[in-house]
Amino acid sequence: MGTDREPGVPTSPGGPRVVLVGPPGAGKSTVAAALGTLWSLPVRDTDTDVEAGAGRSIREIFVDDGEAAFRTLEREAVARALDEHRGVLALGGGAVLDPGTQEALADYRAGGGSVVFLDVSLAHAAPRVGLNQARPLLLGNPRAQWLALMEARRPVYTAVSTLRVSTDGLRPRAVAELIDDHLDPARRASAEPTEGDPT
């Protein structure tokens, strides 16, 4: 249940309340939904935006147009969401690989935004993802592909984030509460008993 947080991260960005990043199986969509419920905020997912805009599934875009075309659509979707959305935003697993998206996230963080890296081990990701062929980048040997993907992406997830939360063994609501605690330490402190208070 580990978390790593940069000190002094502001909690009132001019864009989304929080941006979630991480690999397939980390729980980005379900944690985003839990945060939306916890904070009474709308939730947006850039994978859904891409599919809605293209009128096709991500798998179909990969097969018909190739990964480069998908990444262009993804970069545009992320830029729009960072500009327009004021709730909880979940990015596709590979979105952070794009230099333009990295720059956009850097601007978002510089403006006080919080980017949370939802970390997960293969053992916990596998049942969530199913490691099936619905995910274009996990074709062939999905476990080996996931490990290779994670090895390549982990430094990027770490670099773009202000907080890391391990989702291993946790339900989405518990992860959402961890994020809430770390993004709003003043609220957490006010809820904790001080010395001499009855417990």
Which residues, other chains included, contact 94 with Cβ-Cβ below 8 Å and sequence gap of 6+? Answer: 71, 74, 137, 153
Residue 92 lies in a domain: yes
pLDDT tens sequence across 155-194 = 999 999 999 999 998 999 999 999 999 987 655 444 444 4
Q: How many CB atoms lie within 10 A of CB 148?
A: 12
Mean pLDDT of the chain: 82
Q: How many CB atoms lie within 10 A of CB 19?
A: 33
pLDDT tens sequence across 6-52 = 433 334 446 899 999 998 888 999 999 999 999 999 999 999 999 99
Instruction: Pick the more confident residue, 129 or 84.
Output: 84
The pLDDT of residue 38 is 96
pLDDT tens sequence across 117-162 = 999 887 777 655 654 444 454 455 567 777 788 888 899 999 999 9
CA gap 40, 148 in Å, rounded: 37
Half-sphere exposure of 7 toward its Cβ, with a 13 Å CA cutoff? 0
Residue 156 lies in a domain: yes
Residue 142 lies in a domain: yes
Residue 94 lies in a domain: yes
Domain that holds residue 111: 3-44+86-184
Residue 51 lies in a domain: no
Residue 145 lies in a domain: yes
C-alpha 173, offset from chain centre: 15
Report the domain count for the chain: 1
Predicted TM-score of the model (pTM) = 0.81
Residue 10 lies in a domain: yes
Please state the rounded mean pLDDT for residues 103-126: 89
Residue 14 lies in a domain: yes
CATH number at residue 30: 3.40.50.300
